[in-house]
Structure 1
Amino acid sequence: MKAAYALTIASLGFILGACSHDGHNHGEKSVEENHEHKHADEIILAPEDASRFGVETETIKLIQFNRAINVTGELTSPATSTNIVTARTSGKITLRGNIVPGAEVKKGQVIGSISASGFEGGDPSEAAAISLDAAKKELDRVTPLYKEGIVSQKDYMAAEAAYRVAKASYSGSKGGSTVTAPANGRISRLMVSQNQFLSAGDPVLEIVGTRNLTLKANLPSKYFKLLPEIISAQFKTPESNNIWDISKMNGRLVSGVNNIVTEGGYIPVQFDFENTENLAAGTYADIYLVCQQADSCIALPKSAITEELGTKYVFVKVDDHGYQKRLVTTAGSDGERTVILSGVNPGEEVVTQGTVFVKLAQTKNVVPEGHSHNH
């Protein structure tokens, strides 16, 4: 990738350098001879070269821009989609393969098995099976006798109750029990180790649903008064350059202004949304909380803005061949666009893609043959 990028830069330098020559049948004009026709701060890049290197522009106009507050946060699983799987019986657990945190599981999938074989006291499931078998035989014995009036109703009801108790105690599997996933999801925590002894009711693992996620933003308490204005959010994760828009993922604000709880100087602002992009719970997020109040202003794509030693610039296209580096003052951002307070005006054309090549052209003090400006 680096080699390809270096080749591209070298190619651009060659193309820009070639612009100063007009062939063997024409006299060459030096940069100094053309300097009087070129603005001192103008960058020259031929249209065909700009197209070749993906330079794109946008005409500046005033737009309605929602104020956004940049905060940090994380993706979590909604409480309603979290399941703790427990052991149904006591014994040693044997986990199936690939049962690790992060693994996907399906509803009904067998996670492992529990057996008490070899432990003092024997297998409770096996003992329960024996008790159930004995209770059923006793019930089968007294039922016809009760119908004939030989056995009293009290004895019959006692046999029936004993059978029901034995049936309720039986796990359904002689020699142990199985552990299964109660729903589709992802294993978030594994609470046991292979061959660990468990008692009935002990937690085995935690499964979180993957269909929905919660975006939890940590809003500094100094923005408390803006809380009622927050209507949506955009966010990005370290794993991707994409900016996800909650409003496009069936997201909704779930933390209201009436149940505010401050946590260490921060107010948690939460959105539930459909996880259509297969994002993982527990992921850090850089979040832009979008407010309802909209202002008419200039807001340019973040890709249009370059920074040098803390100073921000954009490249304005002044004609077919010429660009101008323009100092700008910026304000807030919603993650995709940044507000411009000064430096450019509506109607001007600004570079939004390929700024690196325009910047490189700035170092080539070359004017294409026959190109001049009479302003």
Structure 2
Amino acid sequence: MVSMRFIQRIATPNYTVYYALPDDRKGGVAIFTHPHCTVLQSFIDPRYRFVWLILKIEDEEFGVLDLYAPNDTTARMMLWQELRLQLPFRRWIFFGDFHSVEQPADSSGNSQLLKGSEADKFYRLNSWFIFVDTRNATDGLLGPAHTRYQHTATGIKWSILDWIYISLAGYWVLRIAAPAHQADFPYSDHFPVLVNFQFSETFDVLHGGFHTYFKADPFLLRDSSVQLHLQQLWQSLQQSSAWSLPAYLSSLEQQRQFLKHVHRDRTQHLTHLQQLEAELQRLHDQLDLSEEYSDRIRELQLHISKLHAWEHHRYYLYSRARHLREGQGYTRYSHRLFRKSRGCRHLEEQPAPRKIQEVVQLLPSNKAPEPASSPQ
């Protein structure tokens, strides 16, 4: 539980705090900005689930988001999707509830992170949203990717923490532990903040200062050896099986070819639809059709309208994906459309409307319906 008194106690005059505290005091998130950070934009969720800022440091602009999310995987997935639709297109550093789900508290009141099949299920959920799985990436000093230093009254020790994600062109390329679930921290497990993070233009080298809070004291990691170990962690990520960017780009090319084929066929499909509509209208106007055939024509006209919507939808997807062919940047739409594990397969998996030939076979013939046989 986070209190306003606690925020005031640890927020020194040199830092600016952006926070979201729900009325029931369950959860709460906050971001402390370093004096060298220029805040270009800020947003606090009205339901107090997250806070995000657009920061500028030495001509570098990036976004920082702190999230308090429910443990239910479905609810968390819906929240992630909401963020995808809302967040401006920037380089983002995410921390908070992005890669850990707790089990319900046991009889002693302690909560544990998911393990076994439940943990695997959640990692698959992360991969659906293009969160890179770096569980096997290990650094010599920093340890596995899910651990980092924790500063407590008894000194520095390892602790299981939450995550920070760093993205490049909409693809999460690295995560670093954010000091969260702290064993000796009675106030909140979502408080400590990373605000002064710098990176090179090519993302090959990570460097800069980490400003984090443990209890009431800032623990600033400035040691050059820490920066070196972060670089080594980055290299181990690139060499691990979790590094799937080439495969991701290959899938994008396949999706581009698929949409190109859709665009090539669109004109012919729409021409067939127009011819079919004209034929239906001619039959309706010129023939004295029975009620059964009139109902059939109305059904076909409705089906044709669905075919029109289908073709226009596919063309819209193609037009929104032209930036891939023309070498332009990503858009928020393409970020959602071309996710790593799904891509455009939802178009191929979706049952397509009937083909034109199948619809034509349903048309009534020009022969008048045979009169019903009189009862004997």
Do they fold alike, i.e. is TM over 0.5?
Answer: no
Give the TM bin, normalised by the shorter chain.
Answer: under 0.3
| TM, length-normalised to structure 1 | 0.20
The higher radius of gyration belongs to 1
Higher share of residues assigned strand: 1
